[in-house]
Structure 1
Amino acid sequence: MISKRKILLGLTFLAGMLAAAAPSFAQAQNSATSEEPAANVEEIVVTGSRIRRDPTTAPTPLIQVTRETLLTSGQNTMIDYLATIPALSNSVVPSDTTGSNLNDGGLSFANLRSLGSGRTLTLVDGRRHVGSSGGSLSVDVDAVPRLLIQNVEIVTGGASSVYGADAVSGVVNFITRRDFDGLEIDANVGEKNDNGELNRRISILTGKNFFDDRLNLYAFGEYEKLDEVQTADIGWMGRSTALVGVDADPVATPYDGITDAALFSNLRTMQRLRWGVVTLANNQPGSPLNDPDVSYFNCGVVNATAPAAGNYNSTNCTLLNPGYTYVFDGANARLADFGTRVGTGLQRVLNVGGDGELASEYGQYSQVP
């Protein structure tokens, strides 16, 4: 019994010694491990619900645009550069809204895959931004300070499962600098037409960190002036050159040996003048060079003694016609100068020289801004 107790006592003592030595051994291992150099992680940036990563390994199609690329692109606005990306090629840039619809003048909307700006979600630091157009969630990207942008992440695949129905075509996320401290000035001057019209822009950003970089305040201001470029100021458009049909062949003899179309310059039109045009009811006879497949409509005799004889209800009786068409010159009206009329059919709205506005200006006089 005594020998068995000595053996048990010895085993208990040995177990106690091993238990006491275990922490020391673990401490030795920890100290040996702590001597190895640890990797330093300077910053982890989380945008939205996705961690920034190499676009080639991203689970969704992703395009990254850096701040340096935006500032050195030479484009006058941020949306002008984004519109050079194929997926955003149909974005609304300021020049698209010249003389167009209400509520979009001067606005810049990202439009992914041409599905509409309302289906392209625009975020700032992963958060939704207030809409810029009435009745729409579309965001004017020029409302984001360009000098404060760190980079832009564009999800070109449908992201509605993550962000909602307004991200059907994708997401454009503007990531800003959260700790800018100092003063930054960026300016741009460019000539956009050989007549000397210029673009001018100056942007100023100032910021300051407070409370051990826990608070950052910034102020941003931008001034931009775009000289107007009218259609007539652009060389090739000011020449108003177009190919015009000058002969309409009958169906029975489609080849009559007469040239069907010719190239003309200085084309003008009086079909919708800004200052107005008035055409009296008249008989405009057809000719071999007009459309012979359209039967001539007899408008009757239109004169002061028998006004009821004229057919005023037919549009063919009130077409532009020399001797019957008047244009307004100040407060007075005078007979229009048709120059040299070109075209076919009863309604020939084009003439070389004479009165009217340039045909290239028809519908839009100003191209930029």
Structure 2
Amino acid sequence: MAEKRSIFQEVADGASGGAERPQPRGGMIDAGKRGARRGIRLWLMALFALVVVMIAVGGLTRLTDSGLSITEWRPLTGAIPPMSTADWEAEFALYQQIPEFQKQNSWMSLEDFKVIYWWEWGHRQLGRVIGLVWAVGFFGFLAARQIPAGWTRRLLFLGVLGGAQGAVGWWMVYSGLGDGRLDVASYRLATHLGLAFVILGFITWYVLLLSRPERDILQARRSRESRLFSLGTGWMHFTFLQILIGALVAGIDAGRTYTTWPLMGGGLWPGNMMVLEPWWRNFFENPGTVQFIHRMTGYALLAFSVMALLRGRRSAHNATRNAFTLAFTVLVAQIALGIVTVVLAAPWEVAILHQFLAVILWVLVIRARFHAGYPVAQSVRGK
């Protein structure tokens, strides 16, 4: 006959001896996708780095007036550079037919042409590398069935944006090949650079989403600071607008016209702001007008950023407060560097640094918005 045992004895025996029972484990929702999320995040970070390099090379291509050296768009065969003297002479002959050579660079020899050709060829080649890295990563993760639920369309969308960027790049170059133009159309240059920042923005957002487990993201969304998130959205759009206007400045070398600050030619605004006809051309092609707009938008962005900082500093979450503070600090540094760039007449070294800092600012503003939308949980003590 079995001996009777009290319930307390059974509990004690189960805790100290007998067959071990399986213990529940946390994180089962993410268990099957933790590796994929980490791998995709690293892949996206590699893409981000390549796009940043692409922006820098594109800026140098613009500053060295190399962007029109290749006058044809050959997505596949264009990857092969000239391999013989005859090939180089053929490329040079094509360049000699466009207005930039005839009116500005007629002094160039074949050796001079090779310098600007390699800049543009490297720029286009880097674009092909980015496309290849995206394709290998996307289809590799897809074939291995390692893409988390809901992420296939997002990652495919990046590829679509990359393909559109290549087409916009040619659309930009084509504008400078005829009609007596010496440079590409500034609004097309702004579109090209703007799309690059859009791509960086989406990559940044995706990396931030993948940096935390899915369950943490779902929980954090319930604590969203809606008003601060909306303010962060406005801050992001305002920053993007200033980046586009900066591209217009670069497109017509407007940063090298009025090289004093805070006045422009001795006044608050240039005296020739509306001299072009029709009037709307002044907002794209008049260096004084474009630089004036860039300055005024910068002041307005600074004022808006002060408001964003004050609101962000009132957040209940340390990470959110720090994110808004860091973004504001970099914005002030960017404005100061912009003033230095103008005063020095935009030497290429300073201009590229100004462009690179714009990338950092863009990422940090998006990061501040992310923290407002998905606050990081903290203890009661605020740690």
The TM-score with structure 2 as length reference comes to: 0.21
Q: Quick one: higher RCO (CA 8 Å, sep 6+), 1 or 2?
A: 2
Larger radius of gyration: 1
The TM-score with structure 1 as length reference comes to: 0.21
Larger relative helix fraction: 2
